[in-house]
Structure 1
């Protein structure tokens, strides 16, 4: 079966495509972060969890933060646990389900027939021996969900298979929701499989898709009945400033084209790809690289198993897309999957930080279009000046006036860009974007620049004020050997640019 639709939860050897394109290093430059580094998010509402295992070389039995959070919730269950699990070999989770059943909680389980019930037979049979009913899909496509509904109130979902590899070696994410309306939607989906025995294309679109969670819009889609990939593409088409994604398998042409179109209209697009997934002959990574999208392929021991996208982080309209679905024909049209689209600033910020942690952990040699690195599969260019400087397309009342790129002492502490309003009226800069030649982007918060006033955008962290804004970076942005600063408004129009050649401390922009 193609890799896009069937894969094991372990790292296996893969033969990379013979047509792998050529990387030409034109300058030493690593694309640096948009958001501050966060390794493991502090639980909020919903509580986000990320596998904190960048240095792992093998699976472990040590309980992780993510795992403990789920164990705590399972241990507190009082009435019901409905679990749709693609795989299960984590003994702690298995035993927690059995313990819940033994104390009178109604535990029901749905799994995949081959990768779940057969490959993890000892664990699913242990559930059955304890008196827990396990239903599997009995078909070639996958029951690929990884969600649990607890007490009709809590929902655990994401990319994490509840296996030793999934929790301790592979790179995954999960969310824990506390809301009966979310739980009701997932319960309807669960019972369609468990009670009615309907999987894949036999299911119908029978759930509410849009609701409010803690004041933010939340959309929930199940595959293959609900058109989840179409909804994801719509979000990409609406992106204004930035897109960052982390994906195991991505073979969908329409989503690929939407990302290229977003980049071409000025959206900063960056992606993280699993190397094994990129080995699929239908993978879209090479096409995106040749279109100029900045990508990195993972170098970790475990699988980069995430399936999430972050859109317009730091803006007034941030979006998180996550769930169990790989962006493929099988994920959209045959597997049982769930996809969440969450318009929530806190959730987006947590995922953005986790994404940046992964991005920084992968060397630039494993990527394309990383600032000074140009990816050209047919024609090799050795002159970085061949990348054109954007031409301003709107009146430049607001201008970049100074770039301090090589201050005395620590670059991060001393770097800043001064932006001045030369006009006679205040300029609303909310959602504007300041970026370097590597497309590292700062999105302005709610901010207005008074006439004849200036604001400094510092690389370091700090408290924003009317005169100083802070990027929150842990590493330098402005290259000492030369760079280009570009300022765009909220409609992605280029307002001003400033290019300097380096060799000094700062550059005065005309």
Structure 2
């Protein structure tokens, strides 16, 4: 999967690949559907472009619902090389799979890729530590009807252990993968003593020296019924300590399938019993996903796993595409490439703000701070042990979260997951959490004031290189973290220097008139 030309919208339902061969089989391409995200009872129109050096004699669309029997339909109409098919409306939550087949007058045939769509809107639940994550996870496990597959770094707190044992005792199939460091904990041993199969990453011939750092659960995927498939992921560990954490729960068969594939290769099989000879973890894992981009209820979602997908590259790409603002909370941040991308975004006028855990490895903090980016060490309430979040909000539309710290180990060695979601409502929930942690740490979100108030101060040119002119006097210049840089007095221009006469760094600055609830954003380019 290559997202070089990624514009922020998943296009897994469009296939531009050619299927022609030396025998001149029909060429099937540009398969699209409308609507992209069908609702219950809504017919789906599938359009395919089919060309051939001869004549297309037969074309059919094959579809099936919830892994059932394949049904074929003939095209409703054809216009030149465009073939139009209809899939009848289905029930909410049903999973539809479909592909196109064609034969020409020389009896050469071609078959397209198979595509999937789930009927209905996306369903999300977003939780933070204030939502009592242990209880939310216990409830999530309690609602399992058929299967629970849990890959979690720490999975031994009483609430979670009791919930898993209760699910096991009522007949739910439970499989657990944890980290070697916690296999001897009492809670983990209680799971094993209850008969639940539990393994860690350091077993079998394919074991590696790394951390199984996942924090995901797949629920009810193994019953073959797409209507009740859920995933849980985020930064939350079921451990003894309370941290500033997040979790997101999503109803989706395709996402459940993606996380289940990751689980099964670490488990070594798709059965109830692990196969330690086939189990692969860490750098022995391979990319087992047919695609990394999905459309869930109209929302674009991307899923990546460490180390096989090197997920940090997709965070860098996400930052490089930012248009207005980036806010993040991070436990450990050591990657220069992501740090450089954030500095570059800041210098081109994107508002960037971040909060770092001060007891973890965070060398990028100094680089960002020295570049003028308003970053802060966390200042959490006393009941929380650390800032354990690992999420980023971009343009209040995209959210990146998961288990991965932004480090070499996170992207290149450990078992981790990253999920990127394009949904403004979900992004707003994460932005609110970021705002609380950011202001608590000492930051000021001036970007909000700029958007709320029509400026009476005019600045030109903006962005500027050396001098920015204004239409009024007695102005004050602030940097993006709210610190006073300079008072201009009678001057109607700013030469990009602070009160000591030193040139300021490129980035975002705010111009304010004292006593007025107005300010304007200016961007110094160099």
Both proteins in one fold, TM over 0.5? yes
- The question of whether the paired residues in 1 share the 8 Å contact of 2:460 and 2:470 is answered with no
CA shift for structure 1 position 400 = 10
- The question of whether the paired residues in 2 share the 8 Å contact of 1:370 and 1:438 is answered with no
Paired position in structure 1 for 2:196: 132
Alignment partners' CA distance in 1, 2:478 and 2:349 = 13
**1:253 aligned to 2:336?**
yes
Paired position in structure 1 for 2:478: 437
CA shift for structure 1 position 439 = 3.3
**1:117 aligned to 2:183?**
yes
**1:156 aligned to 2:232?**
yes
How many residues were matched structurally? 346
- Give secondary structure in 2 for the equivalent of 1:257: helix
Paired position in structure 1 for 2:283: 201
CA shift for structure 1 position 362 = 1.9
1:355 pairs, out of 434, 445, 448, with: 434
Alignment partners' CA distance in 2, 1:130 and 1:72 = 20
Q: CA RMSD in A?
A: 3.8
**1:283 aligned to 2:363?**
yes
Q: Can you give the 5+ residue segments of structure 1 that lack an aligned partner in the other structure? A: 1-43, 53-63, 372-388, 406-435, 442-476, 487-496
- The question of whether the paired residues in 2 share the 8 Å contact of 1:482 and 1:502 is answered with no
CA shift for structure 1 position 507 = 9.4
Paired position in structure 1 for 2:293: 210
Alignment partners' CA distance in 2, 1:370 and 1:499 = 11
CA shift for structure 1 position 274 = 0.2
- The question of whether the paired residues in 2 share the 8 Å contact of 1:248 and 1:304 is answered with yes
1:181 pairs, out of 243, 254, 257, with: 254
Q: Can you give the 5+ residue segments of structure 2 that lack an aligned partner in the other structure? A: 1-121, 203-207, 222-228, 269-277, 448-458, 495-508, 521-526
- Give secondary structure in 2 for the equivalent of 1:164: coil
Cα pair distance change 1:310/1:111, threshold 3 Å: same
1:238 pairs, out of 317, 321, 338, with: 321
In the TM superposition, structure 1's runs of 4+ consecutive aligned residues that sit over 4 Å from their partners are: 399-403, 481-484, 497-501, 503-508
1:392 pairs, out of 449, 462, 465, with: 462
Deviations, residues 384-422 of structure 1 (Å, cap 9, x unaligned): xxxxx874259xxxx99999x9xxxxxxxxxxxxxxxxx
Cα pair distance change 1:482/1:78, threshold 3 Å: farther
- Give secondary structure in 2 for the equivalent of 1:275: coil
Cα pair distance change 1:76/1:288, threshold 3 Å: same
CA shift for structure 1 position 65 = 3.4
CA shift for structure 1 position 90 = 1.5
- Give secondary structure in 1 for the equivalent of 2:399: strand
Paired position in structure 1 for 2:411: 332
Paired position in structure 1 for 2:138: 71
CA shift for structure 1 position 218 = 0.1
Give the greater-gyration-radius structure (CA): 2
Alignment partners' CA distance in 1, 2:517 and 2:252 = 54
Structure number with higher strand proportion: 2
